[in-house]
């Protein structure tokens, strides 16, 4: 229709007019591709022309007079060209709209020019994420932005990281809201997202996130996936790498001979017979060498991008495959991705944006990050034991019941996980008037998560907790289900199928109009309706034939009657209905003000408090636009202030009501009989956590090269949602019972962020860029529920004391235990000490008497004190890149300073292997001032004290890359646009004093952060990569 | 085009008329919740199973009853392993003690589950309801008796669940009121309960009468106690099992001597993460021989180790010594190939003795982690105990001949000569011979006024009861005072 009309005009204008000349030319885009259907118009004489597919056009102009042509095409900036009287064969280069994508940022339900943003945001481009060559977006985000702290839960393939925006706001779920092209994308499912599909990541850190209301308190991450461009011929891009990974560190453990000497000493000191007659046993088994391996990682991504006059498309395919550095294929992750971004103009005014992301991923895991994990066993296994005993079995190490042979453990572990995810939206953008856009979108996010655990019949030695067989003949135990009905409890397969589906509708209108050139008024109003359903089904089948993993499926159940054990299921539905309004006003892009109100109703909360209102506002002042500001080097100076409320609704569904999901089981007539019990008492007043955040920020830019952004924030979270200890009288500490979820307790985060960026002149051969960011957050619990002194966190050692706490006046999860003050060197010193330390002998740790009563109390907490916290004093990211002609180099550093770690991977057992620092143990007066004596007799040296707390500060070179791009001229001959090869390394260098595997130690639970059970370390990876485009 | 516009308009209209409140009121799919329960007789019975469940935490009462007394030390892997028990062993325990806290919590769970049934007793009527309610009362009485034995005055919650605010407005009830409630519940329960259980494990008339007798005995109400024990003895349903050494076998469980047993099963696995979830008995595994590798026994955690004092207390000819106490070195030496048998000594303490009544034995091993899943029942009240308690009541009432008869019945069972019961001491001694290792000793010492002389570190006026866990005082709004001396 439109095309026909334009052709008609074109035809009209070419009908013979005298004293005219014909001017011709070619319109191309910034990458020299011809643009068809660009409109060329001239005012005098009035006339229009369109370019042909090859970009060529001709138009009639008045002879001898210069004229102005306006060239416009959708997706590009309209430009005017003055045509002199003699000009012919014009070459017109169109710049894409917002040619510098860095100038536009997506904010919730709209976008904004960076210059006019009044909130605190940070943005990273997709290239910077992709360049890190990491499996997950969150891993690649570490050190990229101020105020966004990433810590790693596990270095295993597919292992997750934690994203913490501006500190820990809560004891509970601290995960930010993640939206991919506007679609809610749960942080647990991030494995599915291919970093190569990302165009940009924007983080809303302050009250600006308030447009997302009850889900915004932990910050909001907006991810855009790549899309095509109007009027571009299709380009195909490939980006792939292959790498080899190995552990970045091995612990310094005792060799067999050192072990034998020290164990003999321990037993002798404890008055027991020495276990080793001969201590000349050589180096023995290095269990770490047995479990660590060198393993491959590879990634391949292909994308097809392009567009026609009214359609844009981007299609991506990805494959990722990684084996673990512990156990190789037994700890594995692979992923296939497919992506389609498609937009088309259904009419002049109506546009359709369609996104579909599909992924399928598989993950195999080994027991990790806990007591009984493979690395925990490898650390504590006896170096004097061979991997395989002379009898031909894996060595048993029977002296300690909870240490098993880690090599056998790897072999016998079969955990699979598979997830399929479909995420997408259909979005209709209707623009009836130039100042009004109405968007209606329908989003979906469906995940199918399946897992299987095969437990073969195994025998690790007498008394081992992990045995599933009755004896070393692998006989299976039997279970009597009802009287007279017995089944063999042979090799077992556990299967679980979970389905989650989100459906949502969002409708909103954006209004944007400028009055009298100086007054810009913008407004957004909308509604969203969100529903999430989840269901699960699980069960165990016994008697997998032949103890063989190849038959490990519920269908292979050999039990009489097909009986499944421990079958279970659950189902939930949650809903959220919201309305929101945002109003913005700007005067001359100099004074800016914005106000947001969102009202949320959530099915998660009790009937007494189901709806919440979350207002926020922000203002900005571009001082550099003022007349009085005449300071040339500074081209931008903006002061920003924001304040607002947001909420956190991350609690289990139906937490406000008492369900019969407790466990009530007793034995009648020798049969285990199922009853019912209340799981968690009701709390009909349950509501969201509220965060109030103030942000003051300053943006500066010097010579358009050096940018500087700083923010100071105060973020207070109130009415924390958690389950503190409640009085025993509520009866909630039975089997399957939990305390009620209540609103109590406050947390404060105050912090300071700094981002510095420098970009060299774009016109030189040698280009370089440097970015540095800095974050300091001061975290403090400001209130706990009444009657509760503190909430206990992680335990130290096996069955030991609680070592971390949530307590008023301290950081979330701070460490609490005895402070040591060296070693008692002699009995005389003990006798003369001002403080009585019961049971102390020479060589024992000296504890500090905190309450000053002259006695170290081991029966209560009066002499325990603050010993540090996992929260760093500050973190920094430093990114450097440079290029000279075809060569490029980049480096990405991350540093975390002032965080402490609890060394909790040492099994405090007489026979367990130890770190080599015990070689410097106390053996007599003045022999050691920090490592206590080694003995099997009872001592207090293994209670939680500062002896087990280490400085976890580190600086890490996360990524280093050197590349070479072949010259364009040469490539043109082989019809290629780009060809680059590179060499890259991840985690090449880590500077730290921490003794454990990896100081980058996170935990999904705020109270377990910094407790190291033998973390699966991040791999050191060397990669070669190839990128090309044609 | 027009169609799309129409669709959009329809969508907007639909969004406009749609009701928020209804949409947001989501019921948990396929789930019964606490407020719409008790619709059928089965609902009552299943809730009752839930109330029985907490009996299975008896291992803690057993341990503390022995470890606090002169019978046993705490033992275990190290002094920091179950610190609470070590403190109780040394009589240094205070308001911060995880083991006492667990005990306090678990018994209140049992009470609240029994209360949940009794709160809804009027919902529907059906023939078996009276029996179900009687069982619930028996259980509530059992749990309150545990609490009053350990802590003295405790808050009394009857027939209701407490909300978050209510728990801050309740005081400790005087011991006498708690006892009155226990008596009331048991007096209402025993006339209704079956004399012979419909299912092994359910509370019976005899169990309720024996428990009530014990409750009276703890209050020195000799006449009432005698009546109850007499009812049990004359019921004709109980007799002493002829072979003492078989009393603690799985194979001879629920025999004629069983008045009330807590039932366990080895057929469900379990872990240290949730001791309250276990269906097996944690005591035998915990009390097993550390890293033992040899015949007869299984390996365990060397908890609750009998003392030399207890060993020496037995006359050499009393076969109950060997049945009660395992002398590990003597046992190993007596085996065919002693050098092949190994075990380890825990740093939490070692006496050379193990509790031979509740100990992990081969052939009685549950599913993994089998340190926690023993199928061995806990004998709450044996007929022998009833006889000895009756003897004590009768002695106080001046019926020394009855007392002597009962004591000598006990002795005759193990084929040792009778004694002349000419002092209470004789009965007390017989209780120690007969019932050591079963968790009664500390409470016997306390109620007979012998604790201070028998237990080093025991302070009269303080250690008769344990401290209320300090955190429970705080959580209840800080209005309770701590027990004297703590």
Model pLDDT for residues A635-673, shown as the tens digit of each residue: 899 999 999 999 998 888 888 888 888 999 999 999 999
- Greater confidence, A492 or A68? A492
Angle at A612 between CA A611 and CA A613, to 5 degrees: 135
Whether pLDDT at B115 is above 70: yes
Q: How confident is the model at residue B8 (pLDDT cuts 50, 70, 90)?
A: low
Provide the terminal-to-terminal Cα distance of chain B, rounded to the nearest Å: 82
- Give CA–CA dist A636/A655, Å, rounded: 49
Yes or no: say if A720 and A170 are a contact pair by the CB < 8 Å rule.
yes
Nearest neighbour of B24 by CB, restricted to A601, A730, A789: A601
- Helix then strand count (H, E) for chain A reads 9, 53
C-alpha B44/C-alpha A676 separation (Å) is 9
Check: CB of residue B387 under 8 Å from CB of residue B230.
no
Q: Do A440 and B92 touch (CB under 8 A)?
A: no
Average pLDDT of the residues in A288-303? 95
Comparing C-alpha atoms, which of A647, A644, A622 is closest to residue A635?
Answer: A622
**All residues at 6 or more sequence positions from A649 whose CB lies less than 8 Å from its CB, including other chains:** A214, A215, A576, A600, A602, A604, A605, A688
Question: Rounded CA gap, A448 and A431, in Å?
Answer: 37
- For chain A, the straight-line distance linking the first and the last C-alpha, in angstroms and rounded, comes to 34
Q: What is the pLDDT of residues B88-98, one digit of tens each?
A: 999 999 999 99
A729/B476 Cβ within 8 A: yes
Q: Is the pLDDT of residue B13 over 70?
A: no
Q: Are B125 and B82 in contact (CB under 8 A)?
A: no
Report d(CA B442, CA B424) in Å as an integer.
17
Flag the least confident range among B77-81, B98-102, B133-137: B77-81
pLDDT digits (tens, 9 = 90+) for A704-733: 889 999 999 999 999 987 787 889 999 999
Q: Is the pLDDT of residue A434 over 50?
A: yes
Confidence of residue A26 (pLDDT cuts 50, 70, 90): confident
What pLDDT does residue B175 have? 97
Would you say residue A1012 has pLDDT above 60? yes
Q: Which residues pair with A112 in a beta bridge?
A: A105
Q: Tell me the average pLDDT across B380-391.
A: 97
B20 burial class (0-12, 13-18, 19+ CB within 10 angstroms)? middle
How buried is residue B155: exposed, middle or buried, by Cβ count under 10 Å (0-12/13-18/19+)? Answer: buried
Verify whether the Cβ–Cβ distance B265 to A667 is below 8 Å. yes
Distance CA A117, CA A401 (A): 61
Average pLDDT for chain A: 89
Above 50 in pLDDT, residue B267? yes
Pick the range with the lowest mean pLDDT from A46-60, A170-184, A197-211.
Answer: A46-60
User: Taking Cα atoms as reference points, which of A718, A858, A810 lies closest to residue A1007?
Assistant: A810
**Residue A438, C-beta contacts closer than 8 angstroms, at least 6 positions apart:** A429, A430, A431, A432, A507, A508, A509, A510
Task: Please work out, in degrees rounded to the nearest 5, the angle formed at the alpha carbon of residue B462 by the alpha carbons of B458 and B467.
Answer: 110
Q: Within a 10 A sphere around the Cβ of A595, how many other Cβ atoms? A: 17
User: CB atoms < 10 A from the CB of B51, how many?
Assistant: 31
Q: Which residues of A touch B8 (CB under 8 A)?
A: 428, 430, 440
Gap from B213 CA to chain A (nearest CA, Å): 25
pLDDT, residue A481, reads 64
The predicted pLDDT at position B303 comes to: 95
Give the count of beta carbons closer than 10 Å to the beta carbon of residue B313. Answer: 17
Task: Report which of A29, A351, A133 is spatially closest to residue A986, judged by C-alpha positions.
Answer: A133
The pLDDT value recorded for residue A8 is: 44
Q: Which residues lie below 8 Å from residue A155, measured CB to CB, with a gap of 6+?
A: A325, A998, A1015, A1016, A1017, A1018, A1019
User: Which region among A1020-1029, B79-88, B191-200, B303-312 has the lowest average model confidence (pLDDT)?
Assistant: B79-88
A787 with B479: CB under 8 angstroms?
no
Q: Where are the alpha helices (DSSP H) in A226-366?
A: 256-269, 287-291
Q: How many CA atoms lie within 13 A of B46 on its CB side?
A: 18
Distance CA B317, CA A864 (A): 51
What residue of A is the nearest CA neighbor of B163?
Answer: A730
Task: In whole angstroms, give the CA distance from residue B241 to residue B383.
Answer: 9
The pLDDT value given to residue A685: 86
Quick one: average pLDDT of A289-297? 95
Rounded to two decimals, the pTM is: 0.79
Contact assignment for A675 to B18 by CB distance below 8 Å = no
**Once rounded to an integer, what is the mean pLDDT over residues B311-326?**
96
B209-235 pLDDT per residue, tens: 999 999 999 999 999 999 999 999 999
In the prediction, which pLDDT does A93 show? 86
**Cβ atoms of A662 and A677 closer than 8 Å:** yes
pLDDT digit string (tens) for B434-470? 999 999 999 999 999 999 999 999 999 999 999 999 9
CA-angle at B201, arms to B200 and B207, nearest 5°: 110
Express each pLDDT in A85-106 by its tens digit. 777 788 888 877 654 555 788 8
Q: Which residue of A has its CA nearest to B87?
A: A859
Is the predicted pLDDT of residue B1 greater than 80, yes or no?
no
Confidence grade of residue A14 (pLDDT, cut at 50, 70, 90): very low
Query: Which three-class secondary structure state does DSSP give residue A100?
Result: coil
B116:A733 CB<8 A: no
Q: How confident is the model at residue A11 (pLDDT cuts 50, 70, 90)?
A: very low
Nearest to A525 by CA among A483, A567, A583: A583
Q: Is A764 helix (H, G, I), strand (E, B) or coil?
A: coil
Closest CA to B475 of A790, A737, A801: A790
Q: B18: pLDDT confidence band, cut at 50, 70 and 90?
A: low
Q: Are A613 and A561 in contact, with CB atoms under 8 Å apart?
A: no
Q: Measure B334 CA to nearest chain A CA, in Å.
A: 22
A738 touches A723 (CB < 8 A): yes
Q: Which residue has the higher pLDDT, A229 or A763?
A: A229
Q: Which chain A residue is nearest to residue B266, measuring alpha carbons?
A: A479
Residues of B in contact with A670 (CB under 8 A): 200, 263, 265
Q: Are A582 and A592 in contact (CB under 8 A)?
A: no
Judged by average pLDDT, the poorest of A257-261, A783-787, A825-829, B42-46 is: A783-787
Q: Which residues of B touch A602 (CB under 8 A)?
A: 24
Tell me how many residue pairs between chain A and chain B have CB atoms under 8 A apart. Answer: 285
> Which chain B residues are Cβ-neighbours of A730 within 8 angstroms?
108, 112, 161-162, 164, 167
- 8 Å CB contact between A962 and A978: no
Query: Is the peptide bond preceding residue B322 cis, with omega within 30 degrees of 0?
Result: no
pLDDT, tens digit (0-9, with 9 covering 90-100), for A348-381: 899 999 999 999 999 999 999 888 899 999 999 9
| pLDDT above 60 for A389 | yes
Model confidence at A975, pLDDT cuts 50, 70, 90, reads confident
- Quote the pLDDT of residue A878: 95
DSSP B34-53: GGG---SHHHHHHHHHHHHH
Identify the weakest region by mean pLDDT among A14-28, A197-211, B238-252, B277-291: A14-28
Number of other residues whose CB lies within 10 A of the CB of residue B460: 11
Least confident of A810-814, A866-870, B14-18, B457-461: B14-18
- Across the interface, do A575 and B26 touch by the CB < 8 Å criterion? yes
Residue A113: count other Cβ atoms within 10 Å of its Cβ. 12
User: Alpha-carbon distance A959 to A144, whole Å?
Assistant: 12
Contact A735 B162 (CB under 8 A): no
Closest CA to B178 of B96, B113, B108: B108
B155 in Cβ contact with B170 (< 8 Å): yes
Please answer yes or no on whether B477 and A742 come within 8 Å at the CB atom.
no
DSSP summary character for residue A859: S
Best residue in B265, B271, B362, B482 to probe A by mutation, most A CBs within 10 Å? Answer: B265
**Contact between residue A798 and residue A811 where contact means Cβ atoms under 8 Å apart:** no
Please give the mean pLDDT across all residues of chain B: 93
pLDDT at B10: 63
**pLDDT value of residue A484:** 67
The pLDDT tens digits of the residues spanning A932-946 come to 999 988 889 989 999
Cβ contact A133:A1025 at 8 Å = yes
DSSP string computed for A184-206: E--GGGGGGS-GGGEEEEEEE-S
Q: Which of the residue ranges A594-598, A879-883, A996-1000, B28-32 would you say has the lowest mean pLDDT?
A: B28-32
Q: Which residue has the higher pLDDT, B137 or A635?
A: B137
Round to whole Å and give the CA distance between A221 and A23.
50
Q: Which of A659, A676, A938 sits opposite B348 (nearest CB)?
A: A938
**Closest Cα of chain A to B200: distance in Å?**
5
Q: In the 8-state DSSP scheme, what is residue B23?
A: H
Cα A651 from chain centre: 19
DSSP B400-434: HHHHHHHHHHHHHHTT-------SHHHHHHHHHHH
Percentage of residues in chain A having pLDDT higher than 90: 61
Give the chain A residue nearest B22 (alpha carbons): A603
CB A538 within 8 A of CB A569: yes
Mutate to test the interface with B, among A666, A790, A857, A939 (most CBs of B within 10 A): A666
pLDDT at B85 exceeding the cut of 90: yes
């Amino acid at each position: 229709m439109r095309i026909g009309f334009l052709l008609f005009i074109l035809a009209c204008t070419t009908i013979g007019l005298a004293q005219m000349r014909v001017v011709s030319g070619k319109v191309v885009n910034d990458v020299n591709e011809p643009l068809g259907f660009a409109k060329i118009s001239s005012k005098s004489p009035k006339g229009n022309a369109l370019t042909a597919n090859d970009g060529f056009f001709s138009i009639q102009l008045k002879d001898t007079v210069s004229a102005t042509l306006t060239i416009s095409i959708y997706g590009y900036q309209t430009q005017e060209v003055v045509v002199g009287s003699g000009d012919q064969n014009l070459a017109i280069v169109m710049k894409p709209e917002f040619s510098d994508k860095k100038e536009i940022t997506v904010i919730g339900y709209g976008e904004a020019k960076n210059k006019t943003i009044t909130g605190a945001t940070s943005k990273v481009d997709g290239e910077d994420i992709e360049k890190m060559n990491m499996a997950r977006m969150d891993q690649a985000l570490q050190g990229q932005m101020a105020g966004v702290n990433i810590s790693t839960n596990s270095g295993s393939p597919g292992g997750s990281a934690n994203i913490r925006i501006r500190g820990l706001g809560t004891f509970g779920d601290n995960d930010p809201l993640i939206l991919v092209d506007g679609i809610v994308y749960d942080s647990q499912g991030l494995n599915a997202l291919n970093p190569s599909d990302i165009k940009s990541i924007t983080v809303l850190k302050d009250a600006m996130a308030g447009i997302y209301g009850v889900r915004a308190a932990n910050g909001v991450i907006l991810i855009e996936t790549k899309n095509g461009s109007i009027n571009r011929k299709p380009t195909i891009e490939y980006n792939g790498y292959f790498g080899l990974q190995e552990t970045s560190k091995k612990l310094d453990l005792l060799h067999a001979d050192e072990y034998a000497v020290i164990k003999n000493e321990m037993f002798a000191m404890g008055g027991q017979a020495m276990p080793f007659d001969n201590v000349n046993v050589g180096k023995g088994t290095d269990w770490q060498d047995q479990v660590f391996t060198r393993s491959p990682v590879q990634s391949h991504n292909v994308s097809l991008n392009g567009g026609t006059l009214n359609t844009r498309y981007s299609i991506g395919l990805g494959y990722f495959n990684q084996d673990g550095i512990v156990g190789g294929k037994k700890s594995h992750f692979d992923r296939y991705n497919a992506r389609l971004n498609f937009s088309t103009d259904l009419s002049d005014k109506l546009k359709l944006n369609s996104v579909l992301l599909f992924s399928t991923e598989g993950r195999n895991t080994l027991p990790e990050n806990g007591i009984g994990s493979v690395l925990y066993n490898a650390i504590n296994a006896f170096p004097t034991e061979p991997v395989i005993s002379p009898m031909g079995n894996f060595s048993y190490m029977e002296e300690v019941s909870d240490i098993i042979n880690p090599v056998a453990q790897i072999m016998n572990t079969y955990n699979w996980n598979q997830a399929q995810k479909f995420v997408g939206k259909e979005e209709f953008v209707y623009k009836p008037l130039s100042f009004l856009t109405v968007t209606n979108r329908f989003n979906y996010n469906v995940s199918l998560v399946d897992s299987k655990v095969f437990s073969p019949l195994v025998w690790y030695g007498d008394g081992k907790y992990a045995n599933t067989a009755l004896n070393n003949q692998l006989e299976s135990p039997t279970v009597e289900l009802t009287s007279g009905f017995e089944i063999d409890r042979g090799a077992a397969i556990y299967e679980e199928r979970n389905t989650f589906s989100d459906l949502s509708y969002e409708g909103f209108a954006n209004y944007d109009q400028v009055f009298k050139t100086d007054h810009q008024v913008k407004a957004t109003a909308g509604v969203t309706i969100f529903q999430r359903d989840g269901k699960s089904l699980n069960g165990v089948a016994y008697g997998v034939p032949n103890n063989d993993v190849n038959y490990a499926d519920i269908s292979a159940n050999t039990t009489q009657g097909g009986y499944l054990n421990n079958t279970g299921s659950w189902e939930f539905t949650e809903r959220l209905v919201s309305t929101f309004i945002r109003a913005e006003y700007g005067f001359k892009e100099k004074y800016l003000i914005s106000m947001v109100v969102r009202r949320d109703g959530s099915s998660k909360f009790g009937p007494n408090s189901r709806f919440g209102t979350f207002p926020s506002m922000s203002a900005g002042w571009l001082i550099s636009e003022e007349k009085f500001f005449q300071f040339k080097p500074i081209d931008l100076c903006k002061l920003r202030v924001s304040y607002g409320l947001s909420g956190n609704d991350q609690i289990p569904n139906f937490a406000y009501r008492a369900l019969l999901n407790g466990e009530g089981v007793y034995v009648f007539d020798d049969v285990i009989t199922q009853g019912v019990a209340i799981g968690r008492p009701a709390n009909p007043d349950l509501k969201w956590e509220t965060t109030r955040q103030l942000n003051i920020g300053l943006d500066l830019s010097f010579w358009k090269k050096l940018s500087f952004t700083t923010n100071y924030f105060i973020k207070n979270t109130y009415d924390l949602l958690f389950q503190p200890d409640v009085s025993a009288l509520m009866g909630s500490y039975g089997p399957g019972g939990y305390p009620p979820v209540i609103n109590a307790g406050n947390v404060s985060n105050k912090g300071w962020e700094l981002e510095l960026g420098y970009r060299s002149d774009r016109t030189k051969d040698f280009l370089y860029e440097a970015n540095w960011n800095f974050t300091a957050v001061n975290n403090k619990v400001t209130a706990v529920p009444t009657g509760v002194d503190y909430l206990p966190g992680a335990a130290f050692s096996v069955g030991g004391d609680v070592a971390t706490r949530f307590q008023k006046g301290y950081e979330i999860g701070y460490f609490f235990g005895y402070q040591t003050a060296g070693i008692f060197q002699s009995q005389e010193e003990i006798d003369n000490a001002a403080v009585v330390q019961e049971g102390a002998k020479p060589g024992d740790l000296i504890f500090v008497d905190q309450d000053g009563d002259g006695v170290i109390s081991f029966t209560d907490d009066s002499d325990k004190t603050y010993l540090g916290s996992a929260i760093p004093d500050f973190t920094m990211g430093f990114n450097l890149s440079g290029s000279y002609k075809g060569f490029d180099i980049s480096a990405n550093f991350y540093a975390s300073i002032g965080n402490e770690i609890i060394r909790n991977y040492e099994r405090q057992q007489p026979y367990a292997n130890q770190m080599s620092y015990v070689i410097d143990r106390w053996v007599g007066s003045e022999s050691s001032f920090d490592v206590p004596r080694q003995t099997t007799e009872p001592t207090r040296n293994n209670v939680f004290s500062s002896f087990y707390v280490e400085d976890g500060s580190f600086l890490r070179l996360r990524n280093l890359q050197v590349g070479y791009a072949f010259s364009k001229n040469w490539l043109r001959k082989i019809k290629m646009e780009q060809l680059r090869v590179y060499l890259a390394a991840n985690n090449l260098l880590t500077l730290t004093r921490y003794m454990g595997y990896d100081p980058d130690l996170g935990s999904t639970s705020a109270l377990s952060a910094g407790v190291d059970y033998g973390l699966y370390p991040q791999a050191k990876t060397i990669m070669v990569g190839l990128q090309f485009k044609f | 085009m027009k169609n799309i516009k129409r669709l959009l308009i329809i969508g907007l209209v639909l969004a406009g008329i749609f009701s928020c409140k209804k949409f947001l009121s989501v019921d948990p799919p396929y789930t019964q919740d606490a407020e719409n329960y008790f619709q059928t007789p089965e609902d009552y019975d299943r809730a009752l199973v839930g109330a029985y469940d907490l009996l299975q935490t008896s291992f803690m009462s057993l341990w503390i009853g022995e470890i606090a007394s002169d019978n046993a030390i705490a033992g275990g892997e190290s002094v920091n392993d179950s610190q609470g028990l070590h403190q109780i062993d040394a009589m240094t325990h205070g308001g911060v003690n995880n083991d006492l806290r667990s005990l306090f919590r678990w018994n209140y769970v049992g009470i609240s589950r029994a209360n949940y049934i009794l709160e809804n007793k009027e919902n529907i009527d059906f023939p078996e309801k009276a029996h179900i309610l009687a069982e619930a009362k028996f259980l509530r009485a059992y749990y309150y008796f545990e609490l009053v034995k350990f802590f003295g005055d405790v808050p009394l919650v009857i027939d209701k669940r407490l909300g978050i605010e209510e728990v801050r407005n309740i005081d400790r009830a005087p011991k006498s009121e708690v006892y009155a409630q226990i008596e009331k519940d048991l007096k209402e329960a025993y006339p209704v309960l079956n004399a012979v259980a419909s299912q092994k494990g359910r509370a019976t008339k005899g169990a309720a009468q024996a428990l009530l007798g014990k409750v009276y005995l703890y209050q020195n109400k000799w006449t009432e106690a005698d009546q109850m024990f007499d009812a049990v003895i004359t019921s004709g349903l109980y007799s002493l099992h002829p072979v003492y050494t078989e009393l603690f076998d799985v194979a001879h469980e629920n025999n004629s001597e069983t008045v009330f047993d807590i039932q366990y099963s080895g057929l469900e696995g379990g872990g240290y993460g949730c001791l309250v979830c276990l269906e097996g008995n944690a005591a035998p595994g915990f009390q097993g021989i550390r890293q033992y590798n040899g015949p007869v026994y299984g390996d365990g955690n060397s908890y609750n180790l009998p003392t030399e004092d207890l060993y020496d207390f037995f006359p050499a000819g009393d076969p109950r010594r060997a049945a009660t106490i395992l002398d590990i070195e003597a046992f190993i030496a007596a085996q065919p190939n002693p050098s092949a048998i190994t075990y380890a000594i825990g740093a939490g303490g070692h006496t050379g003795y193990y509790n031979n009544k509740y100990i992990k034995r081969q052939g009685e091993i549950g599913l993994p982690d089998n340190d926690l899943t023993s199928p061995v029942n806990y004998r709450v009240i044996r007929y022998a105990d009833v006889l000895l308690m009756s003897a004590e009541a009768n002695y106080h009432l001046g019926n020394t001949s009855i007392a002597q008869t009962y004591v000598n019945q006990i002795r005759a069972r193990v084929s040792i000569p009778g004694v002349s019961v000419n002092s209470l001491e004789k009965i007390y001694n017989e209780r120690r011979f007969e019932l050591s290792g079963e968790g009664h000793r500390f409470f016997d010492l306390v109620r007979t006024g012998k604790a201070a002389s028998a237990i080093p570190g025991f302070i009269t006026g303080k250690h008769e009861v344990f401290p209320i866990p300090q955190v429970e005082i705080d959580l209840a709004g800080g209005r309770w005072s701590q027990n004297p001396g703590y």
